[in-house]
Structure 1
């Protein structure tokens, strides 16, 4: 049995307070296995300006607002001032102005949730639908699930991967409460024909939300840099709301996002109020009630530290890296880019049966690079997703070199040998009969060692998931997450 001190620490709460240096040292050790958040080697999840002074400004502003509670703006008027400034700045670049109504949220999912709620509450009926392209972010499925709505997923063009306005039009019914377009869609980095989609939504008397969570704060700067960016924001007739994440190409720390509305009434429908209980009156602008103002202060500081000039330069660097990557893929046998990216997001697929993108991802990770895996869905084959940021420009040649080297190594290794009987067994497995310990054993049998150190080899797991229908994938992923957080899994 471990010493009492160790067992107490493992339990999470020490009997007496620990020295600050001790606990910070433990945090640093816990992060040893994390992917790096700066430098550009991780092409998903993180956005890096490459400018330490901007990060420091955000960190200090976050700390300044750390204990301020956004629950009550009358108690903390600083949050009102900061939110107005951020919302106004975003609106000014996304087809609005200083008077455009908006809400600062914790991220794209919450921004989308509020836009969907506003559309639902504006509809006369309650049995309503959200019509969205198949490439729309799963946040819309999540919002529909939480809000008791039906998501109608519409196929996209199989070559361009852009939404098909005719297909969306045919999906509209009297139950449609919201139509969705993406600028761009995350999987392939392409902008949907927003003007056409918004026009048909307006003709049907239906709100149209543009998901610009990933692209909303890079597309305006690309346009200002002289690139041809099609209309996608509130300036487009028929667009009634738009979401834009500031912790993506706004380079603010997580979580920071803004949802803008074309009119004040729609914003009010996103709010929640309750005054029918014996406690204090509750009025929430977001899904959360109490929430720290640190991300709000950090986002404002990031905006101020970078300025328009800084964002234009970062957008230019990211897009130059994108063009170099696309050219590099074209010169790499067996690989191709899906669609024609309008933003610094690239999806890379393989046309060579001997070259698995899943194995390629593992090879790249062993070389210090993280390329995000995307499973096949509809007409989109399994691929690797790379999000290029401000620091990517200086690393573009190295990234292309690693991609090619990893592709050659993956071709030599060959694709994962997935036993058909295993896929059939998983597809027919009743996971409700297996507890977390049993599922952890199942994961171990296919090479997933939870709690182990080092870079995981995920090619076999991803290949198995790719061979399964989406519903089965989802069940397995839920069970994986449950086991990952299980107290029975050792660190």
Structure 2
């Protein structure tokens, strides 16, 4: 509740420190998801200072704050120059990959009206942001199968998914789950032949793959230079190492960017013209991204890419040598997923790794792809990769000894048939507590049983449970 009187700043900041004690670490490389660390404190300091300088600047009206236009042009231009565009390539700075994808989907829908419900052809490994965009914007999603060995989208399946009402074909560079690049040239050419736009989701790889290529990696073609690619998204708060809230979506055609915009004159107030989903928003993330790019420069990103590539190769080789583990596919980027064989439960392994100070991201089974653990390798990983491998090996041995997560008999079946809409939050919290998860306890609970239960359920039931989980967490 809001206090009657303001509190001293030092007291507030001390409480903030206390609240963050249960958070995962954002520096050092022990958290292999959600955060990106260069290992260079001076770069992050420059970004923080620029972020603060632009904190109260509102991007709502670029004529009121011309610094926003100048900085956005520079940032968008840098991304375009790296991803096959030119100095005049149109783009938009957004708050993140989901917003970039939302705008790409809106642009495709509005630029190509169809007779029926607009549809998207989307690989099963593509980011859920496309499903979110479809939900918000009224599109239908047609899933595209991936190769069961390489995990890359199947061009024939993509072609079969295109209908007269398809307004967008999607490919990933790379897909997040296994870090592989879809066959962009083949699928983009097919889409172009059908007169359908093709969006490349390079949110995670757009600012990584070109530098990996310079470091000696074999990177397949994926950017705007590929015929048929009409838009591409690239997050700068991932391998651009900018503070959160920084992404760019580029378009091959200015008309497509205009289709992403929103304007309304249907009221008597100020002029409304928005380049993004948000209206008022801080220019802090833009300032942070601009400063990060400037502080690192091409040489800095090249060096980070060399370290990232070396760490990725060592990690892939090391995981392959741990009994019971196997890397899924052959990653094109520094995203590594590994599954367990036989009696090695990866969800238990994740809990054991957390006990040892390492966060490995669990991924549930889907579309024939087994449950696995995901590691995002960043510029700081190389310094601790041997320690990480030792922790994974120890956690794997402990998980093998513990055995699979003990799922209560009948629980998955009961959840699959339960009408969750009829269960209030208190009852759901009690149900979670029955499998060892205290949603009100704070900290970092063990999640093996929860993940095992979710893994046994169909996707639609998983989604319903996750919504209830969030409702209770914030209740």
Same fold (TM over 0.5): yes
Pair 1:261-2:261 in alignment: no
Matches within 5 A, 1:94-243: 94-125=83-114, 127-243=117-233
Secondary structure of 1:317 counterpart: helix
Q: Counterpart of 1:230 in 2: which secondary structure? A: coil
Distance in 2 of aligned mates of 1:288 and 1:454: 32
C-alpha contact (below 8 Å) 2:109/2:167 kept by paired residues: yes
- Residue of structure 1 aligned with 2:349, choices 360, 365, 372: 360
Higher mean Cα deviation, 311-320 or 467-476?
Answer: 311-320
Looking at structure 2, the residues matched to 418 and 448 of structure 1 have their Cα atoms a distance apart, in angstroms, of 13
CA deviation string 1:160-183 (max 9, x = no partner): 000000110011110000000000
Pick the aligned partner of 2:61 from 39, 53, 72: 72
Report the Cα offset of residue 453 of structure 1.
4.3
- Report the 3-state secondary structure (helix = DSSP H, G, I; strand = E; otherwise coil) of the residue aligned with 1:216: coil
Residues 444-459 of structure 1: pairs in structure 2 closer than 5 A: 444-459=433-448
Deviations 1:298-333 (A, max 9, x none): 000000000011111111111211111111111111
Which string of whole-angstrom CA distances, capped at 9 and with x for unpartnered residues, describes residues 251-275 of structure 1? 0000100000001000000000001
Structure 1 residue 443, shift from structure 2 partner = 0.7
The alignment partner of 1:220 has SS state of helix
Residue 351 (structure 1) aligned with residue 341 (structure 2):
yes
Q: How does the TM-score come out when normalised to structure 1?
A: 0.96
Contact in 1 for aligned 2:325/2:340 (Cα 8 Å): yes
Alpha-carbon offset, residue 123 of structure 1:
1.4
The answer to which of 423-432 and 44-53 deviates more is 423-432
Report the equivalent of 1:271.
Answer: 261
The gaps in structure 2 that reach 5 residues or longer are none
**Displacement of 1:224:** 1.6
Which stretch shows the higher mean deviation, 243-252 or 326-335? 326-335
Match of 2:38 in 1: 49
- Counterpart of 1:307 in 2: which secondary structure? helix
Deviates more, 1:310-319 or 1:32-41: 310-319
Counterpart in 2 of 1:381?
370
16, 23, 26: which one aligns with 1:37: 26
Q: How does 1:433-452 map to 2 (within 5 A)?
A: 433-452=422-441
Of residues 383, 387, 397 in structure 2, which corresponds to 1:394? 383
CA contact (8 A) 1:365 1:455 kept: no
4+ aligned runs moved over 4 Å, structure 1? none
Task: Give the aligned partner of residue 5 of structure 1.
Answer: none
Ranges in structure 1 where 5+ consecutive residues have no aligned partner: 1-10, 487-491
Question: How many pairs were matched up?
Answer: 474
CA distance in 1, matches of 2:457, 2:163: 32
| Structure-1 separation of matches of 2:321 and 2:196 | 45
2:267, 2:442 → 1: CA distance? 50
Answer yes or no: is the 8 Å Cα contact 1:366–1:455 preserved in 2.
no
